[in-house]
């Protein structure tokens, strides 16, 4: 196994080169303690004196040693001035390897550190394998090892040495996984995994046609909200679920962590089909990780599409509701104005009756009752009153908003219905009332009836579910169900 890539090039350079100090840091790390000053006096050449202080300062900052070719010019000049030496007398090509090693031994001894030798390397190897068994990310392994080495007061080795140790630890761990797969995987599980490497349609092998492999088509998911793209995602999910369900025993046996799954799955995603086919030693491990990763990833993609589609539907309906309120405002105001005018005229007539000297009290009451009766109002005024009363009740109860939701439901159903059908929810750790509604929806395949569960809805929402004849408003029910599902996923009450 070649060395795995753990850090990027910039991080590797930062790790393998001495730190770049500012003025205060330079004073701190190149401060000469008593033992340092006494040790320097025993060195004959300016090069050896400056070289020793540089190695000591860098080590105090990083617990690492660096070759003289990596020493920073500013640091060399700073130490030369501190030791009252001329930089012209400093020649690191004369800084012999045996002198460098002796200086490092002095530094390690005085600071209480161990040299990174075969004995200490074995300690690091054991810790690296322990981390590999925990199936954590290589990057996290790297920095955990650096921390472990520092705590054990061992000289920190180079990036290459650490990456080699981590690579070997992961290789050893992989061998354990491969041995486990070899012992536990069934012939049927192998068959399902091998089919991923088959061409989708044998007819496409004809001359001039590009081969389309199942594995290749499953590598990518589409974030589009277009129904056709959503349908393609669902078809991929159905295929992955069939394989996932079939290989569940081996998945459970391996107990791979998300980090390890992602690591092996990405090898598949970045590789060509022929490269995977040739990997006889770890092909099934790679394909198992790929199926797990893509299955959950596609679930996440469809959940995100569900949430976005529902939110888009809410936004459209809310905007339409506001526009309707605004557009109807003028007619409502005109209706109210006409009614006010009519009522004012009636009040004036009543006032005349009250002030009349010719009518008795009984006649006045009889006349006022007549003036206030519906028959006395023109039909157009009665219609305006009824219309205004109806609109007012709709605004108070917000029923017109539910009408809009219902009218926009079909568009949302085209995007979301099948997503709900094929998503798998955690029944033990989710809202029970909502789970019951989802299970009913799946059993009925979206063909709902009067016995559809409504307990997941608020009382106000339940009020609008049935029309005047007591018939379930199916489209409204569905859009409210989709909204509740999206909201519950975001809040964590549906998993």
Q: What is the pLDDT of residues 312-324, one digit of tens each?
A: 999 999 999 888 7
433-490 pLDDT, tens digit per residue, is 999 999 999 999 989 988 999 999 998 889 889 988 889 999 999 999 999 999 999 9
Question: Which letter does DSSP use for residue 70 in this model?
Answer: G
Question: Which has the higher per-residue pLDDT, 132 or 136?
Answer: 132
pLDDT of residue 4 exceeding 90, the answer is no
* pLDDT 10s digits, 392-429: 555 555 788 899 999 999 999 999 999 999 998 999 99
- Rounded CA gap, 279 and 189, in Å? 17
Closest CA to 8 of 163, 236, 230: 163
Long-range Cβ contact pairs of 90-99 (< 8 A, separation 24 or more): 90/46, 90/47, 90/50, 91/47, 92/47, 92/51, 92/68, 94/45, 94/47, 95/47, 95/48, 95/51, 95/68, 99/48, 99/51
* pLDDT class of 135 with cuts at 50, 70, 90: confident
Section 243-264 average pLDDT = 92
SS3 113: coil
- Asked whether the predicted pLDDT for residue 390 surpasses 90, the reply is no
Q: What is the pLDDT of residue 386?
A: 57
Nearest to 53 by CA among 20, 23, 76, 81: 76
- Please say whether the beta carbons of 476 and 399 come within 8 A: no
Torsions phi, psi of 10, nearest 5? -65, -45
> What share of the chain has pLDDT > 70, as a percent?
89
> What is the average pLDDT score of the chain?
89
Full DSSP string of 260-292? HHHHHHHHHHHS-HHHHHH-TTTHHHHHHHHHH
What is the predicted pLDDT for the residue at 230? 94
> For the residues 329-347, what does the mean pLDDT come to?
67
> Looking at the predicted structure, is the pLDDT value of residue 208 above 50?
no
* Weakest mean pLDDT among 120-129, 201-210, 214-223, 240-249: 201-210
User: Above 50 in pLDDT, residue 194?
Assistant: yes
pLDDT grade, residue 140 (50/70/90)?
A: very high
Quote the strand ranges of 300-346, DSSP E: none
- Position 119 scores a pLDDT of 96
Say what the pLDDT of residue 207 is.
39
* Cα-Cα-Cα-Cα dihedral sign, residues 134, 136, 142, 144: negative
CA dihedral over 22, 23, 26, 28, signed as positive or negative: negative
Over range 339-347, report the average pLDDT: 71
pTM over 0.75: no
């Amino acid at each position: 196994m070649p060395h795995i890539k753990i850090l990027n090039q910039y991080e590797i350079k930062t790790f393998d080169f001495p730190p770049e100090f500012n003025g205060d840091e330079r004073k701190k790390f190149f401060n000469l303690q008593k033992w340092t000053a006494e040790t320097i006096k025993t060195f004959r050449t300016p090069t050896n004196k400056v070289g020793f202080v540089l190695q000591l300062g860098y080590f105090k900052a990083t617990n690492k040693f660096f070759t003289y070719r990596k020493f920073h010019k500013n640091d060399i000049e700073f130490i030369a001035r501190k030791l009252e030496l001329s930089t012209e007398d400093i020649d690191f090509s004369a800084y012999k390897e045996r002198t460098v090693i002796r200086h490092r031994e002095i530094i390690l001894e005085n600071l209480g550190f161990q040299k990174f030798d075969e004995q200490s390397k074995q300690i690091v190897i054991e810790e690296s394998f322990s981390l590999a068994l925990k199936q954590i990310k290589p990057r996290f392994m790297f920095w955990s090892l650096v921390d472990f080495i520092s705590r054990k007061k061992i000289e920190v080795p180079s990036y290459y040495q650490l990456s080699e140790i981590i690579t070997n630890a992961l290789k050893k761990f992989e061998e354990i996984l491969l041995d486990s797969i070899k012992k536990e995987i069934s012939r049927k599980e192998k068959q399902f995994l091998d089919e991923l490497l088959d061409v989708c349609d044998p007819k496409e092998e004809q001359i001039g046609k590009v081969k389309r492999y199942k594995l290749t088509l499953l590598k990518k998911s589409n974030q589009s909200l277009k129904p056709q793209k959503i349908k393609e995602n669902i078809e991929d999910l159905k295929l992955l679920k069939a394989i996932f369900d079939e290989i569940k025993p081996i998945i459970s046996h391996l107990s791979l962590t998300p980090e390890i799954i992602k690591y092996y799955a990405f090898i598949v995603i970045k590789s060509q089909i022929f490269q995977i086919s040739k990997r006889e030693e770890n092909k099934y491990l790679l394909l198992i990780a790929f199926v797990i990763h893509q299955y959950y990833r596609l679930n996440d993609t469809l959940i995100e599409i569900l949430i976005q589609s529902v939110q888009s539907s809410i936004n459209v309906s809310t905007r339409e509701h506001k526009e309707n309120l605004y557009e109807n405002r003028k007619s409502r105001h005109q209706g109210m104005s006409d009614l006010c005018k009519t009522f004012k005229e009636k009040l004036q007539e009543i006032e005349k009756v009250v002030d009349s000297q010719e009518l008795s009290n009984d006649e006045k009451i009889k006349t006022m009752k007549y003036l206030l009766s519906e028959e006395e109002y023109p039909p157009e005024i009665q219609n305006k009153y009824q219309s205004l009363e109806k609109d007012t009740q709709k605004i108070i109860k917000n029923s017109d908003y539910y009408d809009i939701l219902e009218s926009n439901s079909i568009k949302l159903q085209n995007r979301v219905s099948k997503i709900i059908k094929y998503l798998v929810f955690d029944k033990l750790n989710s809202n029970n009332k909502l789970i019951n509604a989802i299970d009913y929806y799946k059993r009925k395949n979206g063909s709902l009836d009067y016995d559809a569960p409504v307990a997941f809805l608020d009382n106000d929402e339940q009020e609008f579910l049935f029309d005047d004849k007591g018939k379930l408003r199916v489209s409204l029910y569905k859009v409210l169900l989709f909204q509740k599902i999206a909201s519950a996923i975001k809040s964590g009450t549906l998993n």
